Amino acid sequence: MINDNFRYLGTLSIEGGLPLNQLNNNSGWLSRVFRHAISKYTRLHHTGIKTGAIIRECDYIPKTYQNDQICIILGDIIKTVVKLKQDHLLDNREDPIAYLDNTYPNWRKDFPLPIDSDVGNMLMGVIF
Expressed as residue numbers, the domain containing 32 is 4-127
Q: What is the mean pLDDT of residues 92-119?
A: 86
- Categorize the per-residue pLDDT at 21 as very low, low, confident or very high, splitting at 50, 70 and 90: low
- What SS3 string covers 28-87? CHHHHHHHHHHHHHHHHHHHCCCHHHHHHCCCCCCHHHCCHHHHHHHHHHHHHHHHHHHH
Lowest-pLDDT range, 5-9, 19-23, 38-42?
Answer: 5-9
Task: Kindly state the helix (H) or strand (E) to which residue 10 belongs, with its residue range.
Answer: helix 4-15
Q: How many domains does the chain have?
A: 1
Give pTM, 2 decimals.
Answer: 0.80
Q: What is the mean pLDDT of residues 13-29?
A: 66
Q: Which residues of 70-98 are buried (b: 16+ CB within 10 A; e: fewer)?
A: bbbbbbbbbbbbbebbeebebeeeeebbe
Please give the mean pLDDT across all residues of the chain. 81
Q: What is the mean pLDDT of residues 85-104?
A: 93
Over residues 29-73, the pLDDT tens digits come to 888 999 999 999 999 999 999 999 999 999 989 888 888 888 888
